[in-house]
Structure 1
Amino acid sequence: MHVDPHLLKTFTTVVRLGSFSAAAAELGYTQSAVSQHIAALEHDLGVALLSRRPVAPTGAGERLLDHATPLLLRLDAARADVRRAAAPPPERVVVAASPLASSAAAAEVRGALHVVARAEVVAGVATGEFDVGFVDGVVARSDPLHLPVGVKASVVAEHPLVVALPPGHPLARRKGLRLDDLVDARWIDAPDAAVPLEDLRKAVGATGFRAATAYRGTDTATLRALVAAGHGLAVLPGADGVPLLTPNLVHRVERLHLG
């Protein structure tokens, strides 16, 4: 089996945008060309990858997506690494960090720091847009962050996790909390300022963690103000909150770079 990376790129873009026409506009193709790319990929693999109404990956498409995303990122990393090897050293180092990794990055960086979403940090380092990246994630103490092959990583910091609760909350005086006891609580969906709710669901292997409020900013002080006002709970790194006892997770910051 030989899969054309261009077809994989088209497939991942259609899935991300949920639309053939939107993918065509982003990639600079006609909608007919996008449809042909998907048809060729499905013919090559012998399975249906996308349902059309609505546009969404099938079970086989989900499996391909798991492979396609790191494969494409690995190709981007290889291109960037080859170009870097043939180029003179940069006059300045471009550094990026995810919001919850920015404080650790600021302690080590001289000059400008770009604060962007986690996925943008990883992709930017892989493609050579950023020379160094600082990215965060929640993992078991013995596990690494799940990063694409081709990007090298080293641990910068680890912090315990706490549950941020409003004053007077019935659980605020507890010495520790179990995450699976909070599945049905009201949460603030703040993927760039707190532990993403999807990560909490994966940690306990359960649905739930219903978002009562959405916050799309990156300022943890604003997020804590929302918690204090009773808009929902949040899991954060640090010490200002009730410690999360189980599962045994830590918030880790890692430094990324190409080889």
Structure 2
Amino acid sequence: MDPHLLRTFVLVADRRSFSAAAAELGYTQSAVSQQIAALEADLGLVLLSRRPVVPTLAGERLLEHAGPLLLRHRAARADVLRAAAGPAGRLSVVASPLACVPAIARGLSSAASDGLEVRLRTVARERVADEVASGSAGLGLVDGITAPGDPLRLPDAGPLSGFGVAEEELVVVLPAGHPLSHRDGLALSDLTDALWLRAPVAVPVERLRELAGGGGFRAALRYDGEDLHTAVNLAAAGNGLVLLPASATAGVARGVPLIAPRVVHRVEVVYAGPAGPAAALAAQLRQPPSSTPPGTFARGS
């Protein structure tokens, strides 16, 4: 299948409109119709009902494969371009909001001192692997919650290399005077009825429910920014509890360690290619730091 035609099909199916897809792609509606017809002729199947524009059963099945196929295509193109470009003094790095824990930040600083110009930008956790596979970034840093020593569950985004670089304990940020703030540790089961802060930098409420194996965990306030101190201050002021890695709250707010379930905050590096600036920085980040803050330790996998 022609990936160009497949991309057009995905957009038409997503927008439920030939004209909307044409406007977004910069084509005429007739050109988009011809591309869909060519794809259907190639497969010998009708992929889209026209009125209304909705995928057929065959179209729904193709959509299931389209995302991974197109991502693999972008990954292959990016890999060839990386190989042709050779070593360079610049590197684009993407990181999920809580991936730059102190140990990682020190590694990036060391790379800069070695003459490598690093451009760092933040993206959603689920976008990190895709950005690296497609060539939009040379290296990714992604964080998540997992059992100690277990790898994160990352999407299959192509032939990427990866390993864990840091793990640390999680703490619940409580406002001053909260009835549980005096405890030495908390279980999530103690907090199912509490109100939580929903924010990109915090552990998602849905993940809390998954970890606790039940419902609850209602959101009190939604904060759409990515400033960690703002999220911590909102939680400390009573706008909802928040679960964060211990280093994110040090010296800022009261954090009570999470003791059940036994999970940790983990950061992993993902990159493509055996050589070049990304591989060099990955190797540097893989080295255990000379010292780590309490509750933080480097771990390769």
Place the TM-score, normalised by the shorter chain, in its bin: 0.7 to 0.9
Q: Which residue of 1 aligns with 2:221?
A: 213
Q: CA deviation at 1:231?
A: 0.7
Cα gap change, 1:37 to 1:185, in 2 (>3 Å): farther
1:228 equivalenced with 2:236 (yes/no): yes
Separation in 2, partners of 1:224, 1:73: 36
Cα gap change, 1:226 to 1:258, in 2 (>3 Å): same
Q: Which residue of 2 aligns with 1:106?
A: 105
Q: CA deviation at 1:203?
A: 2.2
Separation in 2, partners of 1:233, 1:186: 6
Q: Which residue of 2 aligns with 1:151?
A: 160
Contact 2:186 2:258 in 1 (8 A): yes
Separation in 1, partners of 2:187, 2:89: 49
Q: CA deviation at 1:27?
A: 4.3
Report matched runs for 1:126-205 at 5 Å.
126-147=133-154, 148=156, 149-191=158-200, 193-205=201-213
What is the identity percentage for the equivalent residue pairs of Structure 1 and Structure 2? 51
Cα gap change, 1:13 to 1:196, in 2 (>3 Å): farther
Report matched runs for 1:51-62 at 5 Å.
none
Q: CA deviation at 1:237?
A: 0.6
- TM-score between the two structures when normalised by the length of structure 2: 0.67
1:116 equivalenced with 2:122 (yes/no): yes
What is the RMSD computed on CA atoms of the aligned residues? 3.7
Q: CA deviation at 1:12?
A: 5.9
Separation in 2, partners of 1:45, 1:156: 47
Cα gap change, 1:10 to 1:178, in 2 (>3 Å): farther
Paired residue type of 2:234? L
Unpaired runs of 5+ in structure 1? none
Q: CA deviation at 1:201?
A: 2.5
Q: Which residue of 1 aligns with 2:285?
A: none
Q: What SS class does the counterpart of residue 238 from structure 2 fall into?
A: coil
Separation in 2, partners of 1:45, 1:198: 39
Separation in 2, partners of 1:66, 1:77: 18
Contact 2:91 2:119 in 1 (8 A): no
Unpaired runs of 5+ in structure 2? 250-254, 274-301
Report matched runs for 1:46-85 at 5 Å.
68-85=66-83
Paired residue type of 1:74? R
- TM-score between the two structures when normalised by the length of structure 1: 0.76
Paired residue type of 1:174? R
Q: CA deviation at 1:187?
A: 1.0
Q: CA deviation at 1:158?
A: 0.7
Separation in 2, partners of 1:254, 1:134: 6
Cα gap change, 1:72 to 1:200, in 2 (>3 Å): farther
Separation in 2, partners of 1:45, 1:201: 42
Render the CA deviation track for 1:182-207: whole Å, top value 9, x for unaligned: 2232111102x111222223323434
Q: Which residue of 1 aligns with 2:261?
A: 247
Larger-gyration structure (1/2): 2
Separation in 2, partners of 1:11, 1:249: 41
Task: Please say which of residues 19-28 and 139-148 is displaced more in the overlay.
Answer: 19-28
Q: Which residue of 1 aligns with 2:287?
A: none
Q: What SS class does the counterpart of residue 101 from structure 1 fall into?
A: coil
